Amino acid sequence: MLTKRIISGLLFLPIFYLVAWKLDPVYFSALVLGAVVIGQYEFYRMVKARGITPNMVLGIAIGALMIVESYQPVVFGAGNYLAAFLILILAARLFSPRPVDGAIEDVAATVFGIFYVAFLFSFQVAIRLSPDGKEWLVFLFFIIWASDIGAYSIGVPFGRHRLYEKVSPKKSIEGLIGALAASAGMAVLCKVWFMPSAPAGELIAIALGLALVGTVGDLAESLIKRAAGVKDSGAIIPGHGGVLDRMDSMLFAAPVLYYYLRIR
């Protein structure tokens, strides 16, 4: 499993470097848009395993629009369309041929899929568009990747004390310590490689915070998968599962970094 994770990561790394660092932000936004479409599909498929029927087409369309608006607002910005989105989703369920029973669950799952996947993904685009955005975006990805590798490398062979067993029986406190250590080490490397002007102490502190928040994001997706009765959100990435399996930590970490940069 670890070998597959490393191979898939090495294959994705040059693509990520090209899109996030070398090319115009529109290309990274397009990459995020594709990830959102796949991620929302994975989420809605998990929900359907529980007998709920979200409006998959409408939810994905609204999620895609949210990413487009986060890159270049067409009129007012995605946040100002929230009322229209909700009315549209409710109206679609109201006039659907489905029975009244389950309407609340269907609408709630459709809306939650938009916010959990598309809205949280949109913060990556916002970071890329911010001052020094490409440096901070690459920093974010490197920290989360290091955290994931550290948790897996330490947690699997040495994990003895469960972190939060009712949601994720395999995650351990030892794995969390490995994640934090790897994140701190990666922060130092990021300073040496491409962020020489940033204080080392600040980068390490941010890295530790992102690793902790990312762990919560990982547990949150585990909660959803356990509630849905599935092992993985998908199988598109060898060694990782689906897009949500790979990006669950990032979904929580990106908003934290974005707001930190806003007040920094």
Per residue in 46-101, pLDDT tens? 999 999 999 999 999 999 999 998 888 765 555 567 788 899 999 999 999 999 99
- Which of 64-73, 136-145, 159-168 has the lowest average pLDDT? 64-73
- Is 130 in contact with 138 (CB distance < 8 Å)? no
Which two three-digit tokens encode residue 187? 């922060």
> What does pTM read for this prediction?
0.93
pLDDT of residue 16: 85
Question: CA 101, CA 93: separation in Å to the nearest integer?
Answer: 11
Cα pseudo-dihedral 64, 65, 66, 71, rounded to 10: 100
168 or 56, which is more confident: 56
- Domain residues of the chain, as ranges? 2-263
pLDDT of residue 12: 77
Question: CA 127, CA 13: separation in Å to the nearest integer?
Answer: 19
Q: How far is CA 71 from the centre of its chain?
A: 17
